[in-house]
Amino acid sequence: MNDISEILRELLDRYSNTPEIDQEFERMRREIEGFEEEYAVWCEENGYNVKDGYRDFINEIVESQDSFWDNYQEFGNNI
């Protein structure tokens, strides 16, 4: 079984938050046998809808990273 969360993190690392990440994830959904079913289970377990749950998860990661750097700079730790 695929770890959908880990796959999405890897895609984010590889493609950043660009349209390519959406294209690659959609390709995986179409071409990898059983992936769509695993993704549907992941969505249900994590409270996402199947249509755009992956995108919501990615956006949460990006916002979390942005928040980390905002807090880091707020406390006088300029890069």
pLDDT digits (tens, 9 = 90+) for 11-54: 999 999 899 999 999 999 999 999 999 999 999 999 999 999 99
The backbone torsions φ and ψ at residue 54, rounded to the nearest 5 degrees and listed phi first, read -60, -40
Is the pLDDT score of 70 beyond 80?
Answer: no
pLDDT band with cut points at 50, 70 and 90 for residue 65: confident
DSSP state of 17: S
* Residue ranges in the chain assigned as alpha helix (H): 4-15, 19-31, 35-46, 53-74
Q: How many CB atoms lie within 10 A of CB 8?
A: 20
